Amino acid sequence: MNNRKVPTRKCIGCGEQKEKRDLVRIVRTKEGEITIDATGKKNGRGAYICKSNDCLAKAVRSKGLERSFKMAIPEEIYEQLEKEMKEIE
């Protein structure tokens, strides 16, 4: 029996610790581009969020992405993330 440790991450929307595979990774690349990372392996600073629009809305309200990435996030990025989250659900 090989008991492996399951990596956990904190959702920037609801603040709950969940297994990494249950969350979606959002990445800011060195060029400043913000995208959803489906593979979890893209280079750049990552932030994790639950696979729900509710958590995305909470993250927008609390400016969780802006804190995680230490930069202002344009409204177009949030709209793009909402579209991509709807595809994931």
* Confidence (pLDDT) at 20: 92
| pLDDT on residue 86 | 82
Residue 13 in contact with residue 54, Cβ under 8 Å?
yes
- What amino acid is encoded at 83 in this protein? K
Q: What stretches in the chain show pLDDT beneath 70? A: 1, 89
Give the C-alpha separation, 23 to 43, whole Å. Answer: 17
Domains of the chain: 8-88 (3.30.1230.10)
Environment class of residue 52 by beta-carbon count within 10 Å: exposed (0-12), middle (13-18) or buried (19+)?
middle
Specify the pLDDT at position 42. 92
Please state the pTM of the whole predicted model.
0.86
Structure tokens at 84: 């991509």
Q: What is the pLDDT of residue 1?
A: 66
32: tokens are 């400043």
